[in-house]
């Protein structure tokens, strides 16, 4: 009997050990649209990478990043831009990345030479798990206390891919600031960027202020140009970023003080069908209408889609800033900075609601139908973030019900009943 118990205990322990080993080996399931590059080979003047982003496809509902092998020739690079991708709340928010353009289409090519692009972008962000959204307050501000914080991921892809990602997918405005540098400095920054992208970041955790896109971009610049350019970047060397540069909105101004910002910015706007980027090969154009997913909403509804996406980002930021304010003491110098940012965000929300109301009034029937279907399809009918917008749109439904033709009244009555189930406080 004792031997049987011993054998059973040993067997059970082995099963648990193997199961836990299998679990650990499996690791987290990462978002397939956020991948770090992998090294295939490197030489003095070029590097070959796997998991390089070549663009995105669109299946009618979701975008899917296209990855593949790429050969990058350092000697072909001729310009570097600091890119600021603005998104709500515009008072404080932006995404910083580094873009490089080449003097020929041989700068970045697929291994077989069939694909190429006139530029590439290195973008640093938080690596999400599959199905996860970047909305965790704890992970963003207190990664040390989170059980599963976000590691950093350095993405590398074509400039066309980044334009599609920013303008077509997220409908942001991109401002490209050219840096005033010598050819050898630009090449050094590109090499540094690729090397930084190849470092294992599995324990290098994202922090919304202390270890974000700004820090990632400036680490690349420091490696490429030398630390002497950026001695005032750190409040505590290599640990705490100075308040003057921690927010992405401050980055272009910070570079101007260093004499590195050439000032002749290029602005790419999601409202334009074709965008133009100057290179030494001449002006390169990207036709957004030819990129997958451009027409994912009816053309007349695209302005509404943009504003709705802006609104929910603003409301999410408002909630996060309120929580952050609650954690800070009025004696803390950041307390009033956050309070001021909250007021700016609140003003932006008011402007956003006003813009949405104006768009809906122009075409109430189609816009309200689109909004209600979106709320129901994505199961947002209990999401309190939409409450102030629901309140404003509810008033439009009431107005239209009282002023529309008799044959259209049943549709507005149905809309009114649905809005009665949505939060409106």
> Could you tell me if 41 and 48 are in contact, meaning their C-beta atoms sit under 8 angstroms apart?
yes
Q: How far apart are CA 258 and CA 194, in angstroms?
A: 24
The first and second tokens of residue 387, run together, are 């409450």
Q: What are phi and psi of 295, to 5 degrees?
A: -100, 35
Tell me, yes or no, if the pTM score tops 0.85: no
Q: Which residues pair with 287 in a beta bridge?
A: 274
Q: How far is CA 105 from CA 71, 72, 174, 358, 390, in A?
A: 12, 11, 23, 45, 50
The first and second tokens of residue 264, run together, are 């002749």
Q: Which element (helix H / strand E) includes 2?
A: helix 2-26
Q: Tell me which DSSP letter residue 379 carries.
A: T
The dihedral formed by the CA atoms of 11, 15, 18 and 20, expressed in degrees to the nearest 10? -130
The first and second tokens of residue 56, run together, are 């995105």
**pLDDT in tens for each of the 425 residues of the chain?**
444 444 434 443 443 344 444 434 456 899 999 999 999 999 989 999 999 999 999 888 788 999 999 999 999 999 999 999 887 777 667 899 999 999 999 999 998 888 999 999 999 999 999 888 777 878 888 888 889 999 999 999 999 999 998 888 877 889 999 999 999 999 999 999 999 999 999 999 998 878 889 899 999 999 999 887 788 888 777 777 776 677 777 778 888 888 888 778 899 987 788 999 999 899 999 998 888 888 766 666 777 877 887 888 888 888 888 888 887 788 776 777 778 888 888 888 888 899 889 889 888 888 888 888 888 877 887 888 888 998 998 888 888 888 888 888 888 888 888 888 888 87
The predicted-structure confidence for 389-401, as pLDDT tens digits, reads as follows 989 988 888 888 8
């Amino acid at each position: 009997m004792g031997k049987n118990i011993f054998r059973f205990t040993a067997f059970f322990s082995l099963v648990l050990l193997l199961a836990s080993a299998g679990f650990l080996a499996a690791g987290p399931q990462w978002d397939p649209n956020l991948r770090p590059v992998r090294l295939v080979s490197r030489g003095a003047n070029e590097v070959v990478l796997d998991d390089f982003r070549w663009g995105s496809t669109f299946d009618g509902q979701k975008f899917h990043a296209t990855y593949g092998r790429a050969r990058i020739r350092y000697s072909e690079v001729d310009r570097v831009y600091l890119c600021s991708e603005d998104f709500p709340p515009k008072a404080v928010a932006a995404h910083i990345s580094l873009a490089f353009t080449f003097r020929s289409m041989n700068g970045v090519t697929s291994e077989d030479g069939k694909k190429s692009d006139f530029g590439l972008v290195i973008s640093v962000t938080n690596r999400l798990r599959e199905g996860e959204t970047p909305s965790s307050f704890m992970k963003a501000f207190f990664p040390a206390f989170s059980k599963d914080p976000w590691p950093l991921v350095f993405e590398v892809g074509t400039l066309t891919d980044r334009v599609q990602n920013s303008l077509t997918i997220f409908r942001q405005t991109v401002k490209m600031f050219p840096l005033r540098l010598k050819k050898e400095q630009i090449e050094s920054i590109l090499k540094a960027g690729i090397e930084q992208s190849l470092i294992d970041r599995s324990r290098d955790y994202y922090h919304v202020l202390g270890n974000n896109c700004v820090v990632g971009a400036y680490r690349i610049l420091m490696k490429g140009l030398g630390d002497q350019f950026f001695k005032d970047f750190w409040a505590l060397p290599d640990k705490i970023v100075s308040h003057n540069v921690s927010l992405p909105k401050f980055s272009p101004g910070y570079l101007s003080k260093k004499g590195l910002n050439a000032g002749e910015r290029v602005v790419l706007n999601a409202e334009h069908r074709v965008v133009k980027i100057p290179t030494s090969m001449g002006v390169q154009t990207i036709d957004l209408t030819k990129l997958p997913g451009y027409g994912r909403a009816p053309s007349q509804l695209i302005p509404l889609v943009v504003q709705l996406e802006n609104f929910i980002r603003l409301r999410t930021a408002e909630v996060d800033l309120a929580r952050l304010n609650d954690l800070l003491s009025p004696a803390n110098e950041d307390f009033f900075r956050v309070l001021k940012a909250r007021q700016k965000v609140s003003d932006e929300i008011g402007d956003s609601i006003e813009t949405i109301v104006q768009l809906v009034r122009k075409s109430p029937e189609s816009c309200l139908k689109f909004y209600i279907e979106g709320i129901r399809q994505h199961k947002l009918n209990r999401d309190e973030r939409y409450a102030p917008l629901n309140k404003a749109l509810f008033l439009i439904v009431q107005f239209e019900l009282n002023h529309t033709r008799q044959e259209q009244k049943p549709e507005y009555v149905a809309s009114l009943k649905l809005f009665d189930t949505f939060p409106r406080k």
